[in-house]
Amino acid sequence: MRRFVALGAVASLVVSTAAAASPVTIPAGTSVRLVTAQPLSSKTQVKGDLVALRTAEDVRVGDVVAVPKGTAATGQVAEARAKGAMGMAGRLEIRPLYLTLDGRTVRLAGAEGEHGGVQPGAILGMLLVAPLFTGKSAVIPEGTPLRAVVAKTVILDR
């Protein structure tokens, strides 16, 4: 009788492990909400820099959590322009590239930008008083939300 009980326990363990490791398909176009993991500025970032991102919430496929909240992701500075003379604002645009989960790369698509700027009336008034006035640098604080989508369908063992 003990042998039968022990075999039953092993069989149920194998079944529950197999169910937990079933593959999850994340279809292309699945929405992924990200946040910046560090502050970014057009003063220090240049086009091509890689930047740390993370998922802001679980990515679910049906009732299954395919990508947990806090998963590391990577983005790239798509455009960086320092502030300029005569009130020209800085520009900083971040493009989500991918996230890595269980050793697999999940490609992302999408872009978010933030522009530093000043009011047009303020520029005109400043030009008369201070001809060397410069615009504001673009700043993206840590935790700023970005939207992305899965670029290509991927199957993950979860």
Beta-carbon-side half-sphere exposure of residue 122 (alpha carbons within 13 Å): 10
Mind listing the pLDDT tens digit for each residue in 81-98?
776 544 556 778 889 999
CATH of 23-157, one of 3.20.20.70, 2.40.128.260, 3.40.50.300, 3.30.2230.10: 2.40.128.260
Q: What is the mean pLDDT of the chain?
A: 76
Residues 6+ apart with CB under 8 A from 66: 24, 26, 30, 59, 60, 156, 158
Tokens standing for 133? 């006035």
User: Could you tell me the pLDDT band of residue 15, with boundaries at 50, 70 and 90?
Assistant: very low
Mean local confidence (pLDDT), 9-22: 50
For the chain, domain boundaries: 23-157
Q: Is the pLDDT of residue 78 over 60?
A: yes
